Chains A and B, each alone.
Chain A
Amino acid sequence: MENINDYILHPRQVADKSSKETLQKAIKLALDVETDALRLNTQTFNTNRYRAVKRLDDYEELKNRARLIKEKSIKNLIPLISKVTKAIEARGGKVFYAKTKEDATAYIKKICLSREAKLVVKSKSITSEEIGLNSDLEKAGIEVAETDLAEFILQVSKEQPSHNVAPAIHRSRESISELFKRNFKTEKKLDTGEELTEFARDILRQKFLKADIGISGANFVAAKEGSILLVESEGNIRLTTQLPAVHIAIAGIEKIIPSKKDFGVFIELLAASGTGQPLTSYTNIIEPPLDLPVLNLNGRNDGKREFHLVLIDNGRMQMRDDEELKEALYCIRCSACMNSCSNFQTVGGHAFGGECYTGGIGGAWTVATTGSLEKARFAELCTGCSRCIPNCPVLIDIPRLNTTIKNRLIKADGGASLQKLFFGNFSKLGKYSSIVPTLTNFIVSLSISKLLMEKIVGLDKRRPIPRFANKTLKRQYKLYRKSNSIQISDVFKKGLVLFADVFTNYNNPQVGMATVRVFDKLGIPIKLSKIIEDGRAAQSQGLIESARQSAIKLAGYLEEIIDSGKEIIVAEPSVLALFRYDYKKLINNDYLFSKLEKHTYDPIEYLNKLLNHSELDLTGKIEIKKLNSDKIFYHAHCQLKTIGAGNTALEFFNKLGFIVEISNVECCGMAGSFGYKKGYYDISKNIGNELIKQIKKVATRDSKKVILASGTSCREQLRDELEETIYHPIEYLEKILK
């Protein structure tokens, strides 16, 4: 990894992602100098978060309650704003509603100047970055001291935040040591975390003791009491809000919730989701101006405490009227979406982010607060892997926000690129290619074709193009059924339908056939569905209208199957997740959606359910030889995990007596078409190599390593680097069934 302090580009130069080229440069910067620190730090947060939410026995219920409070608050925002204004003014504080960022900074500057402030101490406030407060105050000759250590680092390095909760998350201890040594002429040793912290603490303590005014952000504002909740670990917020006589709090209007009692729902949820702690060191609940006497440690003779709440609109009211992007207003800025995102773990907020807001949630915020759709182009880095969804404490459908932005960008760019059209219409490609698959495969394998594909369609030429099968699943199934009649066991009279999704039909018929043969062998009758486009490919490219059309048509067909008493098996996890998650919004028919949700299964998930209900007995049906020799490594598909079926293969093979090790990456990095695209290939490979490293480390000793991955694209990602055969779990089950 190159040195960030000497890199040819400064992150600020690539903060504005209006152009595609800048996004590419930012990705390169991140991969060249930031990935190591980012991955270590985000993954630590992520692991701690999983542990912390497990400790909350009512985590799911808390999330629902939090969501309801936020929904209600945004709906009633206007009365809540007047309520909070009344509450604060009643005790002598001031509330200023800033329509624009300029209004906000002008007001704050006016207060600072009228109090003859020379030094302002500031605690972390991403909203203050949004309004560009520091540079405005500095222009007026006021020194601003960032007191959060991460913000202190960024003030020295002049970089923009790369993360909501830990804005300097892209920096290693070594790079901070070097930065400080270059910038501060000091004899002090700056080589450990303790030394660096002590050094910064000493500088900042002096600032605290001298400061004229303290400026903070706010995590929540309770309207009824005019109470503010501020969460931190370092103790700088306490000093900022209590030492100087004048306290200015900056809060986006979306931070307002009805009352102090609602804090109870959020505090544990925020700490667990954010830093992965039961609570951070300090959770401060204050109703300023405080009763605490003015301490005047700065030598001033300020008589009484003064408080200003600056409420920031800056595009939020408009966002509230935007039916699609409005959901981002519920965000409580915990960063769980970033920490659980494989792409973010790899490139962080300097690539996957704009001038201020970062990660999956950052796209909608950038659109709203800058008024520029183009600046949110980094939303392309959301692959829709969906790992953020179950981890969001307020249940925001973040991939959906990014699909919306991609969709709007297509329109703003004057139509979809050939790349998007190519991937978005994969089923048509499959259909035509399958007429003469050998010819198609031959043509695309030629280096001249690969070069043309890269130039015209934007397929990275280093990535092997998925091959089309010689015989589609539909054809193979027909031939198979001609010679094999179904042996129906009484228990399974109603039977199953295997959904012939595009990937399984054209590219992986062997997975579909394995499913058919396994179920046949177990006496569970299964038939193949018609081939109907499902909308997955279109949705992932932001082609929402086309996805919706396909979804509505297909959902009707699936309903007929379900109404005839049959269950539906889907071998491709991304398609299963489409039916069980995305269709809720795509088809907009809750009754039909709930049927789909209940009656669609991954093949192993279905068998596992039968085992659990004692409706299936596999005793004596497994090859003992395999049981003794095979050690399974299983990578669960990202979307399969999100719909709650990520662990069923682990459970299932464990029950059969196998030792199973599972992958610890959120997503393999391929994410459907993402890893094929020129421009994203390097990120994709970087993530994939993490998974491959883990697989290579699996200790086998006397046993044989068997690698299972349920997603088509996951298998492609692994095949690109590994010699071993990569199986869908159902293919492997066929191999071990007697």
Chain B
Amino acid sequence: MDLIEKFISNAEEAAATVKIIRANANSLNDALIAATENELVLFAGPDDLDPELFSIFISNKNVITKPTKEQLSIISTGVTDAFCAVASTGSVCVSITKNLSSPVSMLTQKHIVVIDSRTIIPRPRDIFSENYLEGKGLKRSFSIITGPSATADMGPLVRGVHGPGKLHIIIIDSFDEMHVR
């Protein structure tokens, strides 16, 4: 199994949903529109991915890039990018920066996250290794997100607690010869 397949299988095991698309603004726009179901959506603007990829998506009227405090508190869907993803756990890594990625990914009930297939690394520990991601994993602050928020404190397992109850991952892939699917 290659890293992408492994990532998809483990992310699904962690109760995330996953879609893989071609790396262009049109495909990404289609995937995001399908996932946001035409509702109002908070978009933090990418920390690491090429902003060009989101150029069509941000022109949609439902997309809010500069939310008011109230919008930040109540809008239930959010889109961010992630600087890397982990194959063995199906996790995505969202930066905590000047940008609003982190609040958007924690205050909403549905978090849609976009990753580049080339940033999938084998195991969580590799985030902290200089051999991967050109040392980006050692960036200052970030969250490794594995599936939606959950608790077993009230008895049975419940998804959707203080964080999102749904996590949807969009992988953009160059579909080069290595990954013909």
Which residues of A approach B to under 8 Å, CB–CB? 41, 44, 55, 147-150, 153, 166, 168, 172-174, 176, 192-194, 196-197, 200-201, 204-205, 208-209, 227, 233-236, 238-239, 242-243, 260-261, 263-265, 267-268, 277-288, 290-293, 295-297
Give CA–CA (A405, B152) in the complex, Å: 34
Contact B152 A166 (CB under 8 A): yes
Known: A268-B124, A278-B146. A147 touches B162 (CB 8 A): yes
Q: 9 new A-B pairs (CB below 8 Å) besides A234-B163, A238-B143, A287-B140?
A: A227-B140, A234-B150, A235-B149, A236-B161, A238-B163, A242-B106, A281-B148, A293-B98, A295-B69
Known: A149-B161, A173-B156. A295 touches B72 (CB 8 A): yes
Contact A150 B153 (CB under 8 A): yes
Contact A205 B158 (CB under 8 A): no
Closest-by-CB residue of A relative to B145 is A282
B61 within 8 Å of A (CB atoms): no
Contact B149 A234 (CB under 8 A): yes
Give CA–CA (A29, B119) in the complex, Å: 53
Give CA–CA (A238, B144) in the complex, Å: 11
Give CA–CA (A291, B96) in the complex, Å: 7
CB contacts (< 8 Å) of A285 on chain B: these are: 141-144
Interface residues on B, range: 35 or more
Contact A281 B146 (CB under 8 A): yes
Centre residue among A197, A278, A281 by max chain B CB count within 10 A: A281
Known: A149-B161, A264-B129, A282-B149. A176 touches B73 (CB 8 A): no
B78 within 8 Å of A (CB atoms): no
Question: Which residues of chain B in 124-166 are interfacial with respect to chain A, using CB atoms and an 8 Å cutoff?
Answer: 124-129, 138, 140-158, 160-164
Give CA–CA (A168, B73) in the complex, Å: 29
B167 shortest CB reach to chain A, Å? 9
Contact B158 A197 (CB under 8 A): yes
Contact B156 A193 (CB under 8 A): yes
CB contacts (< 8 Å) of B125 on chain A: these are: 264-265, 267-268
Known: A287-B140, A291-B140, A296-B69. A234 touches B162 (CB 8 A): yes
Contact B147 A281 (CB under 8 A): yes
Contact A292 B98 (CB under 8 A): yes
B100 shortest CB reach to chain A, Å? 8
Contact A197 B143 (CB under 8 A): no
B120 shortest CB reach to chain A, Å? 15
A208 shortest CB reach to chain B, Å? 7
A-B contact pairs, 25 of them (CB 8 A): A55-B88, A147-B162, A148-B153, A166-B152, A193-B154, A193-B155, A193-B156, A193-B158, A196-B155, A233-B149, A233-B161, A234-B149, A234-B163, A239-B163, A261-B128, A267-B125, A277-B146, A279-B89, A282-B144, A282-B149, A283-B124, A283-B146, A291-B97, A291-B98, A292-B141
CB contacts (< 8 Å) of B126 on chain A: these are: 264
A49 shortest CB reach to chain B, Å? 14
CB contacts (< 8 Å) of A200 on chain B: these are: 154
Contact A234 B96 (CB under 8 A): no
A21 shortest CB reach to chain B, Å? 32
Closest-by-CB residue of A relative to B14 is A278
CB contacts (< 8 Å) of A265 on chain B: these are: 125
Query: What are the interface flags for B80-108 relative to A under an 8 Å C-beta threshold, 1 for contact and 0 otherwise?
Result: 00000010111100001110101100110
Give CA–CA (A236, B140) in the complex, Å: 20
Contact B162 A297 (CB under 8 A): no
Contact B151 A233 (CB under 8 A): yes
Question: Which residues of chain B in 1-37 are interfacial with respect to chain A, using CB atoms and an 8 Å cutoff?
Answer: 10, 14
Contact B128 A149 (CB under 8 A): no
A155 shortest CB reach to chain B, Å? 12
Contact A283 B150 (CB under 8 A): no
Count A/B pairs, Cβ under 8 Å: 165
Contact B141 A286 (CB under 8 A): yes
A35 shortest CB reach to chain B, Å? 16
Contact A197 B151 (CB under 8 A): yes
B144 shortest CB reach to chain A, Å? 4
Closest-by-CB residue of B relative to A176 is B154
CB contacts (< 8 Å) of A283 on chain B: these are: 91, 124, 143-144, 146
Contact A292 B89 (CB under 8 A): no
CB contacts (< 8 Å) of B149 on chain A: these are: 233-235, 281-282
Contact B148 A292 (CB under 8 A): no
A29 shortest CB reach to chain B, Å? 21
Give CA–CA (A297, B129) in the complex, Å: 36
Closest-by-CB residue of A relative to B98 is A291
Contact A260 B163 (CB under 8 A): no
Contact B128 A239 (CB under 8 A): no
Centre residue among B129, B162, B164 by max chain A CB count within 10 A: B162
CB contacts (< 8 Å) of B145 on chain A: these are: 281-282
Give CA–CA (A172, B153) in the complex, Å: 9
Query: 7 closest pairs, A vs B, by CB?
Result: A235-B163, A173-B155, A264-B125, A264-B128, A235-B162, A235-B149, A149-B153
Known: A242-B106, A279-B146, A287-B140. A197 touches B154 (CB 8 A): yes
A121 shortest CB reach to chain B, Å? 10
Question: Which residues of chain B in 24-79 are interfacial with respect to chain A, using CB atoms and an 8 Å cutoff?
Answer: 69, 72-73
Contact A268 B123 (CB under 8 A): yes
Known: A268-B123, A282-B143. A172 touches B162 (CB 8 A): no
CB contacts (< 8 Å) of A197 on chain B: these are: 151, 154, 158, 160-161
Contact B154 A173 (CB under 8 A): yes
Contact B98 A279 (CB under 8 A): no
Give CA–CA (A242, B91) in the complex, Å: 21
Known: A236-B162, A281-B146, A282-B163. A264 touches B151 (CB 8 A): no
CB contacts (< 8 Å) of B152 on chain A: these are: 41, 44, 166
Contact B163 A278 (CB under 8 A): no
Give CA–CA (A209, B123) in the complex, Å: 35
Centre residue among A166, A174, A209, A234 by max chain B CB count within 10 A: A234
Among candidates B144, B157, B162, residue contacting A201 with C-beta atoms closer than 8 Å:
B162
B88 shortest CB reach to chain A, Å? 7
A276 shortest CB reach to chain B, Å? 11
Known: A235-B163, A290-B96. A153 touches B129 (CB 8 A): no
Give CA–CA (A293, B151) in the complex, Å: 29
CB contacts (< 8 Å) of A242 on chain B: these are: 96, 102-103, 106
B10 shortest CB reach to chain A, Å? 7
Contact A194 B158 (CB under 8 A): yes
Closest-by-CB residue of B relative to A169 is B153
Among candidates B10, B138, B154, B156, residue contacting A278 with C-beta atoms closer than 8 Å:
B10
Give CA–CA (A200, B91) in the complex, Å: 27
CB contacts (< 8 Å) of B138 on chain A: these are: 260-261
Give CA–CA (A93, B135) in the complex, Å: 25
A334 shortest CB reach to chain B, Å? 16
Centre residue among B125, B153, B160, B163 by max chain A CB count within 10 A: B153
CB contacts (< 8 Å) of A286 on chain B: these are: 96, 140-141
Give CA–CA (A569, B106) in the complex, Å: 59
B132 shortest CB reach to chain A, Å? 10
B140 shortest CB reach to chain A, Å? 4
CB contacts (< 8 Å) of B164 on chain A: these are: 235
Known: A194-B158, A234-B150, A242-B103. A279 touches B124 (CB 8 A): yes
CB contacts (< 8 Å) of B100 on chain A: these are: 292
Give CA–CA (A161, B142) in the complex, Å: 29
CB contacts (< 8 Å) of B140 on chain A: these are: 227, 286-287, 291
Closest-by-CB residue of A relative to B126 is A264
Known: A268-B123, A293-B98, A297-B72. A149 touches B144 (CB 8 A): no
Give CA–CA (A283, B162) in the complex, Å: 15
Contact A280 B141 (CB under 8 A): no
B164 shortest CB reach to chain A, Å? 7
B9 shortest CB reach to chain A, Å? 12
Contact A278 B102 (CB under 8 A): no
CB contacts (< 8 Å) of A284 on chain B: these are: 141-144
Give CA–CA (A293, B164) in the complex, Å: 21
CB contacts (< 8 Å) of B124 on chain A: these are: 264, 267-268, 279, 283
Known: A196-B154, A236-B161, A281-B163. A290 touches B72 (CB 8 A): no
Contact B88 A278 (CB under 8 A): yes
